[in-house]
Amino acid sequence: MKQAKKTADGMRVEYDFSKAVRGKYFERYRRSTNVVVLDPDVSEMFPNTESVNEALRALGSLARRAAVPAKRVSASKGRRSNKRMQLTKRT
């Protein structure tokens, strides 16, 4: 088998990176990739990707419900309003 000729830095002679652009596709790759590494003890709880996604969706749903304040029931009409009390003259 013939060995390819290499330069001093270990690259093959036919590789030409003189017109290369560093990071040309980096932003596109970053937008389409979302890798999360789980700790071993956490990964043991989930057998596959679908179970992780299902658990995160359920947690997200609960968090959204907890973040939305519940509507307050209005006070009954017979009660006095909470207006500032007016001073009366003492005689």
Q: In the chain, how many domains are there?
A: 1
Q: What is the 3-state secondary structure (H, E, C) of 10-34?
A: CCECCCCCCCCCCCCCHHHHHHHCC
Regions of the chain short of the pLDDT cut 70? 1, 70-87, 91
Predicted TM-score (pTM) of this structure:
0.41
Is residue 44 situated within a structural domain? yes
Is residue 81 situated within a structural domain? no
**Torsions phi, psi for 49 (to 5 deg):** -65, -40
Q: Give the pLDDT score at 52.
A: 93
Is residue 48 situated within a structural domain? yes
Nearest CA among 3, 4, 24, 2 for reference residue 12: 4
Nearest CA among 35, 42, 40 for reference residue 59: 42
Q: Which domain range does residue 19 map to?
A: 9-55
Bridge partners of residue 12, in order along the sequence: 6
- Cα distance between residue 4 and residue 32, in whole Å: 36
Is residue 71 situated within a structural domain? no
Is residue 80 situated within a structural domain? no
Q: Give the pLDDT score at 55.
A: 96
Is residue 40 situated within a structural domain? yes
